Structure 1
Amino acid sequence: MSTQEGRVEREIEKDVDLCLKDGKLNVHSVGFSRHPLQDCKIPGHWPRKKRWNYWCIYDADFLVSLTVSNLDYAGVCFVYWLERSKDRFEEYTEIAPLGHGVHQGDRVEDPAGFKNSNMELIFQQEPGAEDWQLQGSVKKKGTVLVETDLKVINPDSSESLNVVVPWNTSEFQFTSKRIGLRAAGTIHCAAGSHTFDPETSVAVLDFGRGVWPYSSVWNWACGTMRKGKRSVSWNLGAGWTDGTPSTENGILIDGRLHKIFEDVVFDFDPTNFKRPWRIYTRESDTVDLTLNPEFERTAVSNLLLVSSSVHQMIGKFSGTIRIAGETIRVSGASGWAEDHKARW
């Protein structure tokens, strides 16, 4: 892992296009913003473009995730849920050749969706409304296996982490991590029905648009701790940002983003992902967290030229965050860390 000592990322404060008209990276988009200001229209680059809208909503008892993604040559859309107390888990994936049935926009606030005979996903903000609606259903031979009617409460009331990561002018990624949000609504599945309460639930959006190298490796960690009216959330990443002028590292305190410019180290055992993960800032004591995994989600696919291996460890964080002149003690905070290797 290369480090960028003294790295300072430019803060973007007005709307900007991710790309030039020829599909090359607009260098003026490189940096971070506190709100999603980036228009991610990407001309050309078929079949290298990657686009995804990943939502996850969880509380102490239950977790559900819904994703609409398009890899140019295939849409990959999936739904999974976890009954945390019983480690009961199910995941459903639909592959759409050439992305048929996938609908996504170029900005974070644009609706996204997918529909075929087995799965329907709709992510949208009703005109004039503050909240986001996340609706989904999974069927098999006409029988409904999963149904969600979820609402993310006014995500625009909070700042978020929005970053453009350039590998070069032909390969780049915009990521928007909207973390620590509140959610409401219900999921119906084989475990029964579960209703999320805005006071105790957490919603996370991972929005990505970019042109990726064929072989990619990344780590991602995300979590939230609430005590009384105080909310502290973190988004930390490594691997894919190494050697670039950007990181996806930030701490959100009561809706205010504190950007971390230095690299983060993910220390874990790749032979046993269930052992504790230590995640810490390389050059300072800003972040020193340990994730104790409770459940391992594994998603592995191998289609000769295209493959993916994900180990997402869902559990609880402990440790310290030192930011904005204070030391925050983290204990029993739910979230996850993952290791992902892809040839795509």
Structure 2
Amino acid sequence: MSYLVNEKGQIEFGYTSAKKINHLDYDLRNAMDKPLSNWRKKLKFNQFQFISINCEDFIMGMAVVDLKYASNCFIYLYHIKSQTFEEFDFIQAFGIKTHMSPHPNKGVSSFAKGNNLLQIEALNQTRNITLRLDNGLSLEAIIDESNSDRALSLCSKAGYNGWVYTQKLAARPVHGQLNWQSNTYPLEARKALASIDWSAGFMRRETSWHWASLSTCLSDGRRLGFNLASGVNETGFSENAIWIDDEYYKIDMVDFKFDRYQESQTWYLISNDTKLKLTFDRQGKRAQKMNLILIASNFRQFFGHFNGTIKLNNESIEINNAWGLVEDHYAKW
């Protein structure tokens, strides 16, 4: 098995094929070079997994977040035709009934509170989701990750002595069924697509980022997905990538232009090489402001339409009113 941290307690930063994030083996020190104990490493290590699923009927987002002092699970759904929005948010102190696998492509990540459960199991190039809420909302889904070797897997430096590992994959087919508000949605028949974000690390005490994600079908039937970000993994590397069907392409740094305090205004996303030029217009959002002194979050994730062009391999791909996500996030952890 390939480990992220080597036998000397160090990491070779950059794009990686590591299969296990063995963070306790890392030689983590404070700013004065004093090694930290394992219990302090455990407290400083943050981890989350976010998955979005969308089809012609709905957009759905869900996450398990473990910040050690507290863990969080959220689920939201937006019905496109009726413009109905529903969200659910749960918090547990000290990560009670929260489990996160150290393997991006193996093992179970889960959150439970009362009769509410979100479980995500990575196994044999699939990611299997079980969601049950006490109001009747349920999801059984299997995400096809047969091209997991084409995921974007990256570890970069964070602050003076930390690091962030992330694995991203987009536009993956989904099988299964969603039951929501007395309606049943067969995911394969609806041509549902998923995006996956698995991230962990000794992150900056205070950090912020902008992020965009898309999973859609083009007019010719090909699946197109992308992951774009600024503010986290930019110490010599970036987490900007495009997937067309099972193929993966890196793209240049992307500038996010938007007005944080005028949420109805258009976002502009332009890569440094201008091969990617997109606009985003919001249709709704999931937001949360949390200040627990030791940890804090000002989170805004918008769902809406992307339009524009992506130039790739001498081809100009037109994006027309494709549903996707953008995010503006401040965190202290």
Common fold, TM-score beyond 0.5? yes
Q: 1:293 to 1:158 in 2, by over 3 A?
A: farther
- 1:1-344 equivalence runs, <5 A: 16-20=2-6, 25-26=10-11, 28=12, 30-33=13-16, 37-43=18-24, 44=38, 45-110=41-106, 111-125=108-122, 130-139=125-134, 144-156=135-147, 159-167=150-158, 170-190=161-181, 192-197=183-188, 200-227=191-218, 228-242=220-234, 244-260=235-251, 262-282=252-272, 284-344=273-333
Residues 147 and 246, structure 2, Cα contact 8 Å, conserved in 1:
no
Write the distance in 1 (CA, Å) between the matches of 2:94 and 2:141: 28
How far 1:216 sits from its partner (Å)? Answer: 0.7
Structure 2: runs of 5 or more not aligned: 25-37
Distance 1:238 1:314, change over 3 A: same
Q: Quote the offset at 1:87 in angstroms.
A: 2.7
Q: Which structure would you say has the larger RCO, counting Cα contacts within 8 Å and 6 or more residues apart?
A: 1
The whole-number CA distance in structure 1 between the counterparts of 2:332 and 2:105 is: 29
Distance 1:25 1:86 in 2: 52
Corresponding residue SS for 1:278:
strand
SS in 2 for 1:96: strand
Report how many residues are paired: 316
* CA gap 1:59/1:239 in 2 versus in 1, 3 angstroms: same
CA offsets per residue over residues 21-75 of structure 1, 9 Å max, x none?
68x541x2x1225xx5342121132322111121111112212222222112222
Bigger drift between 326-335 and 313-322 goes to: 326-335
For 2:7 and 2:93, the matched residues in 1 are separated by 27
Measure the CA separation in 1 of the matches of 2:223 and 2:196.
Answer: 17
Do the aligned partners of 1:70 and 1:102 also contact (CA within 8 Å) in 2?
yes
Q: 1:219 to 1:332 in 2, by over 3 A?
A: same
Letter matched to residue 193 of structure 2: V
Ranges of 4+ aligned residues in structure 1 off by more than 4 Å? none
The verdict on how the C-alpha distance between 1:248 and 1:325 changes in structure 2, with shifts beyond 3 A counting, is same
Please, what TM-score do these two structures have when normalized by structure 1? Answer: 0.85
1:265 CA drift (Å): 0.5
Identity across matched positions, percent: 22
Aligned-CA RMSD value? 2.2
2:30 is matched with none
> Relative to 1, partners in 2 of residues 1:155 and 1:309: Cα closer, same or farther, differing over 3 Å?
farther
Secondary structure of 1:47's aligned partner: helix
- SS of 1:100's partner is coil
Preserved contact between residue 55 and residue 190 of structure 2 (Cα < 8 Å): no
- Unaligned 5+ segments in structure 1 are 1-14
